[in-house]
Structure 1
Amino acid sequence: MTREDDMKEACSHEAEHADNPLEKLRCLVLSRGYDSILQFGKMFRRLDEDKNHALSKDEFADVLIQFGLELSDEEVSEIHSGFDEDGTGCINYNEFLDKLRPEMNEPRIEIVEEAFAKLDESGDGVVTLDDVRDKYDASHHPKVLAEESTEDEVLLKFIGRFEEGVSQDGKVTKEEFLDYYSGISKSIDDDEYFITVIRNSWKL
């Protein structure tokens, strides 16, 4: 069983015993794999046609349905109302996704942000997929180290995750980058190992 499989299984179990709806939702999303937070965030952004970074309760429920997540009406209402602090009937999905993303401690966040900064040479907050292709060393990915995938397979899958949905503009945002690595982080308990994986992958 792979690290990713272990995480999926653990999160599925944790979802059944979660203390609150938000934690249950986080576990359900993570039970889909490394890139689940990334893809969940993409779905929010895809539905935000007017780009106001807000979703109504019905839009929020639609995201859950499209992602195949089963929450009760009461749980959906509790999550949405908890983020609708100004009573407008809408939530800022960026703030919501920040809370949903598995927590990374400061050393992990710093190394992921360092990797993104290396890619984002212009400092405009986005990197192109060509930047990723040129600078990503897949030989240090956990799946390659465990001989579960080849370097080419990991690279193609890695890039593909950012190309799906709304990322067809060929750009990767810092939020998307953090979303992706939050899934990897969740599956790795050891800080030093996680930092080494990022440092070697991006040649930091």
Structure 2
Amino acid sequence: MMLMASVSQLEREMITKAQRKYPHCQDPLEKLRLQCLARGASGIKGLGRAFRIMDDNRSNSLDLEEFSKGLQNYGVSLQPSEVLDLFHLFDKNGNGTINFDEFLNSVRPPMSNARRQVIIDAFKKMDRTGDGVITIEDLKGVYNPKFHQKYQNGEWNERQVFQNFLDNFDSPNNKDGQVTEEEFINYYSGVSASIDSDVYFVVMMKNEWKI
């Protein structure tokens, strides 16, 4: 697939742009977003996964201690006062917890409905079993490994090519061989951040995923 080659170029542009903007940024939310984008397209997805791991009781909410620890574990550099400001920004009802989904939606770079919908459509096409996660089994019949250079030269077998494809979307520090819809959206929100035109982004996705 050509997508990974084009995405890697967009990703480099996004990382450079985020690194350039960061020193001049004062807003804590934007600082957090830029630090994620500076890690590449998987940066926001990695942040999401780090917090999901901390949500032991699956409450979909975080208190201040969990929130602070999650940012720290992911290596985010913010002053304690900025962490507090961020927490209060999302603790809308003042009950001492924040809704994880609302937080993550705010960290993602803004996306139009058209962009979000084409990402979801691509995910649904990939998720052939309809179980809400993309696995190696889903990729069979959707993604042709025979065009991969390492398959052609005998270095990798079919399964290794599939695994490499999933790794593009997986968190570098916690690879589990499957990608959820949330992680897929988080990944492409990073790619989207480097593309100014809605039309270009939608056409790129439709061409690549044949939707």
TM-aligned CA deviation for residue 135 of structure 1? 1.9
State the Cα distance separating 1:127 from its structure 2 match: 3.7
Contact 1:137 1:203 in 2 (8 A): no
Cα drift, residue 18 of structure 1: 2.5
Give the number of aligned pairs: 191
Larger radius of gyration: 2
Q: Determine whether 1:85 maps to 2:92.
A: yes
Q: SS in structure 2 opposite 1:55?
A: strand
Which residue is 1:199 aligned to? 206
Instruction: Give the Å deviation of 1:54.
Output: 1.3
SS of corresponding position for 2:170? helix
Q: What is the alpha-carbon root mean square deviation over aligned residues?
A: 2.8
Percent identity of the aligned residues? Answer: 37
TM-score (norm 1): 0.80
CA displacement 1:131-163 (0-9 Å, x = unmatched): 14542469xxxxxxxxxxxxx999644402337
Which stretch has the larger CA shift, 108-117 or 128-137?
128-137
Question: Is the CA contact (8 Å cut-off) linking 1:126 and 1:172 kept in structure 2?
Answer: yes
Q: Is the 8 A contact 2:63 2:97 kept in 1?
A: yes
Would you say the 8 A contact 1:42–1:165 is kept in 2?
no
2:10 aligns with one of 3, 9, 32 = 3
For 1:70 and 1:163, locate their aligned partners in 2 and report how far apart those are by CA, in whole Å: 19
Q: After the TM superposition, which of the residue ranges 14-23 and 78-87 deviates more from structure 2? A: 14-23
Q: Say which SS state the counterpart of residue 179 (structure 2) adopts.
A: strand
Q: Which runs of 5+ in 2 are unaligned?
A: 1-7, 146-157
**Superposed counterparts of 1:8-23, under 5 Å:** 8-23=15-30
Counterpart position of 1:94: 101
The range that moved more, 38-47 or 58-67, is 58-67
Q: Secondary structure at the match of 1:102?
A: coil
Deviations 1:44-71 (A, max 9, x none): 1011111111112121111222221110
Question: Over residues 152-183 of structure 1, what are the superposed CA-to-partner deviations in whole Å (9 max), with x where a residue is unaligned?
Answer: 99964440233766663x54322111111111
1:193 Cα deviation after fit: 2.8
Contact 2:49/2:171 (8 A) holds in 1? no
TM-score using structure 2 length: 0.78
Per the alignment, residue 162 of structure 1 pairs with: 170
Give the letter aligned to residue 191 of structure 1: D
Shift of 1:94: 1.4
